[in-house]
Amino acid sequence: MGFIMLSHRADLRMRVDGLTLAELFQSAFDGVMHVLKEKKPPQEIAKISKHRIKISSADESALLIDFLNEVLYSAYSRKEIYLSAVFQKLSDTELVAEIFGVPVKDFDEDIKAATYHEVQIKRNESGKLATVLVFDI
């Protein structure tokens, strides 16, 4: 698991990491989905939906937040939870991804947004890319 919850007085703070940028983004995606719905619904192949996300941002940190907000918008507006993300293109400023999900009746948590507050993707002492994320809940 590439994400871990940290303490925050009112909102949600999470540390995510990965050996590559794609792994880091995957960890953040998994972390958000874990918060949205800890117990995943049964995966019925016929009900799996696919959505494409294409975004560009100023740098890799902003790109991560913008990606997570795209995922949140898709989840809440479609009432879906996503099981996986496939990154077709991922640079420091551009991302193309496909996310695969299933419908849900409700969510465990109402994440208002991923914020830019503490995001700063850096390589840590163990050689992994890592950052802290703060979500408004």
Partner 1 sequence: MIIKDFKKINDYLWEIPQSFQGGMRVPARVYATEKILLASLDDRSMAQLLNVATLPGIYKYALAMPDIHEGYGFPIGGVAAMDAAEGVISPGGIGYDINCGVRLLRSDLSADVISSRINDLGDRIFAEVPSGTGRSGILKLSDKDLDLILKRGARGITEKGFGGKEDLDFLESCGELPDADPVMVSSRAKTRGQDQLGTMGAGNHFVEVGFVEKIFSKDAAEVFGLFLGQVTVLIHTGSRGLGHQVATDYIRAMMTAMPKYGIQIPDRELACAPFRSEEGQNYFKAMSAAANFAWANRQLIAWEVRKAWKDVLGESGGDLKTVYDVAHNLAKIEKYDDKELLVHRKGATRSFAKGNLEIPPRYRSVGQPVFIPGSMGTASYVLAGADGAMKNTFGTTAHGAGRQMSRTEARKSIEARALKEHMEAEGIRVFAGSLRGVAEEAPAAYKDIDAVADVVAEAGIAEKVARLRPLAAIKG
Binding site for partner 1 (CB under 8 A): 5, 7-12, 58, 62, 66, 69, 73, 76-77, 79, 104-110, 112-113, 115-119, 134, 136-137
User: Which residue's CB is nearer to partner 1, number 20 or number 136?
Assistant: 136
**Gap between the Cα atoms of 63 and 94, Å rounded:** 7
Least distance in angstroms from the C-beta of 51 to partner 1: 13
Coil vs helix vs strand at 103? strand
User: Which residue's CB is nearer to partner 1, number 9 or number 52?
Assistant: 9
Least distance in angstroms from the C-beta of 19 to partner 1: 25
CA dihedral 86, 82, 109, 130 (to 10 degrees): -20
Give me the residue label for tokens 């890592």. 130
User: Which residue's CB is nearer to partner 1, number 52 or number 105?
Assistant: 105
36 HSE (CA, 13 A, CB side): 31
